[in-house]
Structure 1
Amino acid sequence: MEIEIPCYDGFDELDAIGPYEVLANGFKDGDRDGRVRMVTRDGREEVTASHGLRVGADGRLGDSDPDLVVVPGGGWADRSPAGTRAEYDDGRIPARLADLHSAGTTIASVCTGGMLVAKAGLFDGVKAVTHASALDDLAADGADVQDARVVDAGDLLSAGGVTAGLDLAFHLLDREFGDGVAERVAERMEYEPSGDILVA
């Protein structure tokens, strides 16, 4: 199973690194082969996240023919010059997400990463959630906004603000890996996942 997390200047660190660690631990504890990679839209080798962390990337979004893409957010509400709003306006990540989804890739978003999925047109009429500060924007872009920490609409998933990405990742472990993998990873990470999951 190939999982990609597209990073860009201004993304929120925890939106990406939280799910990365949960999912990577799933491969260690489970029977599934695969990997999780941080990637960029243009193959850049390094980006700077919203709190100044420099993150090395391993390839271009879509290059591994991913089964799953987890899209982080960051910088939407404060209209930062770098971040989700800048990538929304640029349009290249949303366009790539649309192409990947049409080819069969499952797309999941964390926090305001959902705005990039919405820009791709993938949340039109679909139950979804994002950070509280962007719920009106998500609805304006066509999503059927829900009051839940994580929404699972099949091949489109979404999580609320920041730490909800951990719950999204544990839900994905439970859904895709089975056999108690999520429980073992949660125990090792000393985390209690939220049960606030809406399966649409």
Structure 2
Amino acid sequence: MADTTAEIVLFDGFDELDAIGPYEVFENAAQAGAALETSLVTLEESDFVTASHDLRVETQGTLDQPDILVVPGGGWTTANEGVRAVVDDGELSDAVDERFTNGATVASVCTGAMVLAEADLLEGRPAATHPVAEDDLASHAANVVDERVVDDGDVLTAGGVTSGLDLALWLVEREFGEDVSSTVSEEMAYERDEIFG
């Protein structure tokens, strides 16, 4: 059986923990026996991406058609930066919509939910995001809930920055079982929060 593929799509100004937290969870899950292959990717070919706190991250390729696609947040409140810039550009939202239409489970961390909203994936769905973007998310007809992680089947959203750990651990449990998720949680000394949905 082929590995489940997870891709975390990076862009200039993404929040470091939004992407690196889930990446570490997924990599630890693979070491714990999950048939999971994870990559940090970009929409267009790029060797490095600079995150919101100036961390430079080497990418591992361009966005393909993963089984799981994770969109981090970062930079919603600043014009021409991070999520705000990619939402205004529209290309990432279009790419996310295309992957979703072709069967990917799509997840967002923090203000990454605004990319999903722009792709029209959250209309009428329960969704979480960072408090700074809740009003904007609601304006896209999402049912904004105050939860760390919301699982609505093929679309998942997570609230503020550290909730990406909860999201990733839940995805690991959902796809590979509680034993793997518990092993990762214990190794990372992190107790996951409850899931909504």
TM-score of Structure 1 vs Structure 2, range by shorter chain: over 0.9
Which one of 3, 6, 23 corresponds to residue 3 of structure 1? 6
> Is residue 139 of structure 2 the alignment partner of residue 136 of structure 1?
no
Tell me how far 1:179 sits from its aligned partner: 4.6
TM, length-normalised to structure 2 = 0.96
Partner of 1:45: 47
Structure 2: runs of 5 or more not aligned = none
Deviation >4 Å, runs of 4+: none
Could you tell me how far apart the structure 2 residues matched to 1:36 and 1:72 are? 15
Aligned residues: CA RMSD:
0.9
Q: Which runs of 5+ in 1 are unaligned?
A: none
Work out the CA distance in 1 between the residues paired with 2:128 and 2:187.
28
CA distance in 2, matches of 1:123, 1:76: 17
Residue in 1 that maps onto 2:170 = 171
Residue matched to 1:188 = 187
- In 2, the alpha carbon distance for the partners of 1:33 and 1:167 equals 20
TM-score with structure 1 length normalisation? 0.95
SS of equivalent residue, structure 1 residue 85: helix
- Any conservation in 1 of the 2:12–2:50 contact (CA below 8 Å)? yes
Q: In the alignment, is the contact (CA less than 8 A) between 2:106 and 2:156 conserved in 1?
A: yes
Overall identity of the aligned pairs, in %: 51
Residue number in structure 2 paired with 1:26: 29
Contact 2:70 2:108 in 1 (8 A): yes
Q: 1:14 — aligned with what?
A: 17
Cα offset, 1:33, TM superposition: 2.2
* 1:19-50 deviation line (CA, Å, top 9, x unaligned): 000011111102x3231100001121211000
Tell me, in whole angstroms, the C-alpha distance in 1 between the residues paired with 2:141 and 2:71: 18
Note the alpha carbon deviations across 1:115-164, whole angstroms, 9 max, x for none: 00000000011110100110000010121111211100000000001000
Tell whether the 8 Å contact from 2:109 to 2:164 is kept in structure 1 after alignment.
Answer: yes
